[in-house]
Chains A and B, each alone.
Chain A
Amino acid sequence: MEQTENSGRERILHRIRAALSGGPAHPVRESDAEIFAQIPDPLERFQSECATNHTECILTANATATAKVVGEILGPISGEIFLQDASELRQAATSFPTGLNLRWSSEGSPVEETQATVTLAEALIALTGSIFVSSACGGRSATVAAPLHIVVAHLAQLVPDLQTLFAAMGRDTALLKNSMLCLTTGSSRTADIEKILVLGAHGPKRLVVVLQRDQP
């Protein structure tokens, strides 16, 4: 698009600076106290948080077991299954049941009819039982577009909390170059009707994390 016309920009900045020229508001007293408790066993915490937020967490020993678990979940699905085009998932797909309707992220993005998506994650957060995904995980919509989302992750990706993850990301890592990042905690939900929890509002009704103990 052409350069944004911004005639108001200087006037707004001028007003902000004039407003602040009288000095800052009375400073606030910050507390150094711990906000969240230490997490002694991240895996145990991750699993219990998943149970609370309705994420299915399945622990596997290795790639073979992971492929088997993912294949079993996908088995009954007749519609399109969209997968992140990653060597690890390509490898897993070789042992999926035959007849599945697979499409890879190198061939486009998910469509309205896509029934399931399978992606990797950037990290897992123990404190809240969350997955951290990016636009590199099969695109911006792959992690939210279908009724079922399966995430293949590794124990080494598990961090205790968000603070640890952000600190590790630093400012210039590859992760920050993605146009989208998302902390996802459980499947899509709403409580807009009488505060009653209903899963599967617009995004996945079912979120499955297949957590593999060894490295890919």
Chain B
Amino acid sequence: MTNAASEFLRSAAAKSGDLRHRQILRTSVDTYNTAVARGKTRFVDWEAARRRAQAIKWEAVNHLDNYLLQFEARVKERDGHVFWAENGEQARKYILDLATARGVRTIVKSKSMVAEEIHLTTALEQLGIRVWETDLGEFIVQLRNEPPYHIVTPAMHLTRSDIAQLFKEKLGGVNTDDPEKLVAAARAALRRAFFSAEMGISGVNFLVADAGMIAITTNEGNGRLGSSLPKIHVALTGIEKVVPRLEDLAVLWPMLATAGTGQAVTCYNTLVGGPRGKDEVDGPEEFHVVLLDNGRSELLADVEQRDVLHCIRCGACLNVCPVYRSVGGHAYGTTYQGPIGSVLTPHLRGLHDFQHLSYASSLCGACTGVCPVRIDLHHHLLHNRRNAVKAGERAWGERFGFRAFRWTMLHPTWFAALGWAGRLALRTVNALGLGGTKLDPLRPWTKERAAPAIPARSFRSLWKERCGTN
């Protein structure tokens, strides 16, 4: 087992046994579910909307080169810069070189999962640059030196009293657990940064090919301030974020909001096409778009799983996932958590180290059912499992176990005999008072759960009695 896999098992076990943690997640997800159910009623036909969104992303991803080139040409027409980075190192170097060349001391950053993916903030801080996370949730986890817990809700695992304690320690003079006052404290701390930073870094929700504009969605307005006030704006994105037409946003903006938070539409859906125009009052002097590949073109080559690149990072699949809701976001040890993370990470960071995540699923299909762009997530988890077996990544014991299972299933008498022996063994263990101890073969299951009662008779014998056949 790889280190990543054993670490996952360790923290997943710890978190799923942590009742306080589970209560916090449950409260958050319940609130989300209520909002989403209400949000969906605004659509006459949510399924039709999903099909439309899927078709938009299908068109974009299956003609990715054309749309990226169209986007690039438009941005250059407005004197913007487009840098194509093959991997995280190239993307980091471009941004670090730019910051150094311009003498940047302070950066205001709005939410970007791609920045997390390439560990951009740490690299900038090593240059001595002060990087302010400006999304409130990101600001909170930055103060805690933690990665985001969730794609959309980075501080989902914290209560207001956790945050109150944190602010008391880190932002002098703040002593309250009133959410409104906590938000005001963060606003005050970040406002100076917005007006003094030389560079703003943002993520991108959509690259609009025909308009040559990036679309940034935020509720707080931090994306707008960070792309307006500093003299340099850098937008960092994966190459798959492209959509063909501006009109596509009339569908995707509401869907992203509804799937992400249950809102009809997010507060600020901003389009930026370049630096400050000639006759404009303000805005950055420079506009840079960094397009990151980092394994995405390899995923594109996998026709079976190409639709993973349709993802709009709404986080809905995390919220509905029974595994995510038990183990939480940090246990995954990845930038992208939950079902989408389990599907995507083996492609971005290698099957060898991350194939185990595809087994962290009950295959219930809730993720596929909720995905606004209809990614076939739970089947992709199966595809990853198949690929891992083919690549010889699974333990020999598993292969042996499945062979034994197959043989037993094909030999009913042996199946019955082993079932009988198993029940006898469990009864003996319980009779000797060893139930729940290390000698109990069911211990991995029962140490966090109530043990099921051992049935007096087998399914086969009940069937035979009631139906008269074997």
A190 partner, pick from B27, B136, B160, B251, beta carbons under 8 A: B136
What string of 1s and 0s marks CB contacts (under 8 Å) between A127-168 and chain B?
Answer: 010100001101111111100000000000000011100110
User: Do A18 and B219 form a contact, CB below 8 Å, given A188-B267, A201-B187?
Assistant: no
B residues within 8 A CB of A111? 195
Evaluate contact between B276 and A140: CB separation under 8 angstroms.
yes
A residues within 8 A CB of B51? 28-31
Evaluate contact between B140 and A192: CB separation under 8 angstroms.
yes
- Interface contacts (Cβ under 8 Å), in number, total 283
A181 partner, pick from B182, B271, B300, beta carbons under 8 A: B271
- Chain A contact residues: helix, strand, loop or mixed: loop
From residue 51 to 88 of chain A, which have CB atoms closer than 8 A to chain B? 52-53
B277 partner, pick from A28, A52, A135, A171, beta carbons under 8 A: A135
Any chain B CB within 8 A of the CB of A202?
yes
Evaluate contact between A11 and B86: CB separation under 8 angstroms.
yes
Any chain A CB within 8 A of the CB of B204?
no
Q: CA of A139 to CA of B153 in the docked complex: distance in angstroms?
A: 30
Q: CA of A148 to CA of B370 in the docked complex: distance in angstroms?
A: 37
How far apart are A184's CB and chain B's nearest CB, in angstroms?
6
Evaluate contact between A25 and B58: CB separation under 8 angstroms.
yes
What string of 1s and 0s marks CB contacts (under 8 Å) between A181-212 and chain B?
Answer: 11111111111111110101111100000000
Residue of B nearest to A204 (CB): B221
List, sorted by A's number, 24 A–B pairs whose CB atoms are closer than 8 Å: A19-B301, A20-B65, A30-B55, A112-B191, A135-B280, A139-B282, A140-B224, A140-B283, A141-B224, A178-B277, A183-B270, A184-B267, A184-B268, A184-B269, A188-B220, A188-B221, A189-B267, A192-B155, A193-B160, A193-B182, A193-B183, A195-B153, A196-B179, A203-B225
- Spell out B's residues near A (CB within 8 Å): 27-28, 31-32, 42-45, 47-49, 51-52, 54-55, 58, 61-65, 68-69, 78, 81-86, 90, 134-137, 140, 153-155, 158-160, 163, 179-180, 182-184, 186-187, 190-192, 194-195, 210-211, 213, 219-222, 224-225, 227-229, 239, 246-247, 249-251, 253-254, 261, 264-277, 280-283, 286-288, 291, 293, 297-298, 300-301, 303, 306-307, 374
- Spell out A's residues near B (CB within 8 Å): 1, 4, 6, 8-9, 11-13, 15-20, 22-37, 49, 52-53, 105-106, 108-112, 128, 130, 135-136, 138-145, 161-163, 166-167, 169, 171, 176-196, 198, 200-204
